[in-house]
Chain A
Amino acid sequence: MSPVPDNESTPPDLEVPEPGGPQSSASHAEPDLVPGAVEPAQHQAPVAGHARRGMFGVHDHGDTTGFGGLRLPAYFPPRAERPYGGWFDEFVDELLAAMRERDIPADAVQQITIDRGEITFYLDREHLVAICQMLRDDPALRFELCSSVSAVDYGVDVPNRLHSVYHLTSMTYRRRIRLEVAVDVADAHVPSVVGVYPTADWQERENWDMFGIVHDGHPALTRILMPDDWDGHPQRKDYPLGGIPVEYKGAEIPPPDQRRAYS
């Protein structure tokens, strides 16, 4: 084997060719371009998505595409900077004032992200119910409707990969916000907001069913879409899609999750 270039930052178990190495099309090693490392922030910034290597889903040595050296770091939702613009500044002021009034610590809101005209509050799960109660009842906030409760699994290697996401609507002020709570698979507990928003009942059951997020305090957290005796939580990223190979016009087409992925 040819000498391996001094690219110490790439873990040795990677199967892709070393950038600048004999099988790589990258002309020289770029030690800075490594998969995005997760910074150990105070509250661990939310990670959305995984780092990528190469393209066209080729992860062995047979990459002839020329993209084997490509490195794309994981996406972190950026922290919003003031002024936020629009109604967001006024709203965040009112939210923080209401939190002070109710003795909710200011660091219960871990991060505020504004993306594509939508505001997201990353919350500490300890204060989720209190904040929801406040958002519903405070006359300056008035989020009467909990539009949607969903969950996202950001992938196997991502810290705090399970996110429980709440979309609240203020019918009085015609505003929409998003609350997000990130938890780890090993400790997938999020308090239930059914007491504040009864509509979250089925949607939290769906979160439990599909992602295994335990909503503590839910009146009857049982499976809702899958059979009661089902094993596993189907929408987790490490749960296979399933399927069988299908013959079509003489060729065998593998099931969708075993086809070459270009993503």
Chain B
Amino acid sequence: MTTDNDIQHADSRDTTEGRVYTVTGGDWDEVMAEASKDERIVMNLGPQHPSTHGVLRLVLELEGESVTQARSVIGYLHTGIEKNCEYRNWTQGVTFVTRMDYLAPLFNEAAFCMGVEKLLGIEVPRRAQVARVLLMELCRVGSHLVALATGGMELGALTGMTNGFREREEVLHLLEYLTGLRMNHAFIRPGGLAQDLPDDYDSKIRDFLKVMDSRLPGYDKLLTGQPIWRNRMAGVGVLPVDACLALGVTGPILRAAGLAWDLRKIEPYLGYEEYTFEVPTSTDADCFARYLLRLEEIHQSLRIVKQCLTKLEPGPVMVGDKKIAWPAQLTIGADGMGNSLEHVRKIMGQSMESLIHHFKLVTEGFSVPAGQVYVPLESPRGELGYHMVSDGGTRPMRVHVRDPSFVNLQSMPAMCEGGMVADVIASVASIDPVMGGVDR
């Protein structure tokens, strides 16, 4: 006999010819009854979709156009940078960490170097500090421009995308002139900078500032006042300040929710207390507020860059301690950047001690006293923290990166669930996650 418990089994009865089954379709009626109530679809977005930042995969549970559940799947860009750092000396680590958050390479370098310097107990020369601030603020401009550009592309504002990348190209050209590379600079090194800024950095940066001043108002004309742009973003992806704190969200998302939490003001590092700049905030806590805030932060960063130019005074860019300072004096040769011939001539021809010293520092590296530090700084996406542990050797025991993208991406379900599918794209764009930093 059929009971409620085994309704999925076919009914059967015994006859003289054996057992006969009545196939009724099992629980199909129930399935239909269940399905007629809602239209539940589980949709996969990514991991290679152009509207997801990098190789991010979203799994959305939809009921019609509404998102009932959203989850992000990460790890597609995991490269084991943290583990690799444990097999290289402290100076080489810079080359790895600069590849994590590839839109903010100079922030990773600076935070890593500040961690090493804190472990060593040294302070970098003033010119190096100002130059770091200068480079980081230029990098912040570039990063925010990409946030606007890719955000525009994802919402269909393709001119916003082309304009954003055009301006970002200006930033990259300038950074290439200053550091030698467009991205992944490895220019900031433990103890200072790899080398001094080029001679005519001042005029180049002033030219850049003029270009930016002439082009930035275009964003207000193109995007800020545009009704489609505003309607796609205003009131979308709301994350109030208490949710931000619970989820550990920092950066523009937290400031857009009303808390003026900017580590440059709260815990000034590299002499940020000397610079005059505003921390824009909003209380709307939505995607549009985050857009406006990033745009304003670009203006504020350019303001800091201007102040850096007046503060840059001649001086060393590397600590004087020859047991830490990288011995190579770099110059530009016929085949690109390399050791200066004078330095090579000295260590190879004149001073045996210099050669030994060079060899020891380059192959072995410098020892860092045992202990651990946590160094936070304000990256374009929020608190970028480096937890670094030394066991007293020439290599890190552990480098852990608290990447703001990784932590902020956790807020995606809180922003998206209950909203429409199209708003998921706007929300993810406003989080501005960089998968190189998320997956490390």
Q: A residues near B, CB below 8 A?
A: 48-50, 52, 56, 72, 75, 77, 115-116, 118, 120, 144-148, 150-155, 165, 167, 171, 174, 176, 178, 197-203, 210, 223-227, 234-235, 241, 256-257, 261-263
Contact between A235 and B119, CB atoms less than 8 A apart: no
Contact between B75 and A226, CB atoms less than 8 A apart: yes
Given A147-B248, A199-B410, A256-B88, residue A75 in contact with residue B392 (CB < 8 A): yes
The answer to whether the Cβ of B363 comes within 8 Å of any Cβ in the partner chain is yes
The answer to whether the Cβ of B123 comes within 8 Å of any Cβ in the partner chain is no
Contact between B365 and A262, CB atoms less than 8 A apart: yes
Which residues 350-370 in B have Cβ within 8 Å of A in the complex?
Answer: 363-365, 370
Given A199-B410, A256-B84, residue A148 in contact with residue B374 (CB < 8 A): yes
Contact between B261 and A197, CB atoms less than 8 A apart: no
Picked from B78, B89, B119, the residue with its CB within 8 Å of the CB of A225 is: B78
Contact between A48 and B391, CB atoms less than 8 A apart: yes
Given A50-B391, A234-B83, residue A224 in contact with residue B398 (CB < 8 A): no
Collect the chain A residues with CB atoms within 8 Å of residue B385's CB: 147-148, 167
Closest 10 CB pairs of A and B: A199-B248, A49-B391, A263-B393, A148-B402, A150-B400, A75-B370, A262-B364, A225-B75, A263-B395, A256-B87
Q: Tell me the complex Cα distance, A198–B239, Å.
A: 14
Picked from B87, B250, B390, the residue with its CB within 8 Å of the CB of A257 is: B87
User: Interface readout for B374-391 with A: 1 if CB under 8 Å, 0 if not?
Assistant: 101000000101010111
| B interface secondary structure, majority | mixed
Interface residues on B, range: 35 or more
Q: B367 to nearest A CB, angstroms?
A: 8
Given A153-B398, A234-B83, residue A167 in contact with residue B374 (CB < 8 A): yes
Residue in B closest to A200 when the chains form the complex, CB atoms: B248
Which residues 95-146 in B have Cβ within 8 Å of A in the complex?
Answer: 118-119, 121
Interface centre among A118, A147, A148, A262 (most CB of B within 10 A): A148
Collect the chain A residues with CB atoms within 8 Å of residue B247's CB: 198-199
Contact between B371 and A115, CB atoms less than 8 A apart: yes
The answer to whether the Cβ of B286 comes within 8 Å of any Cβ in the partner chain is no
The answer to whether the Cβ of B41 comes within 8 Å of any Cβ in the partner chain is no
Collect the chain A residues with CB atoms within 8 Å of residue B80's CB: 234, 241
Can you add 14 more A-B contacts, CB < 8 Å, to A225-B74, A262-B365?
A52-B392, A52-B393, A75-B391, A75-B392, A77-B371, A115-B371, A116-B371, A152-B397, A167-B387, A200-B248, A202-B407, A234-B80, A235-B83, A241-B86
The answer to whether the Cβ of B158 comes within 8 Å of any Cβ in the partner chain is no
Q: A210 to nearest B CB, angstroms?
A: 8
Q: B406 to nearest A CB, angstroms?
A: 7
Contact between A147 and B397, CB atoms less than 8 A apart: no
Contact between B389 and A48, CB atoms less than 8 A apart: yes
Q: Tell me the complex Cα distance, A125–B369, Å.
A: 28
Q: A93 to nearest B CB, angstroms?
A: 23
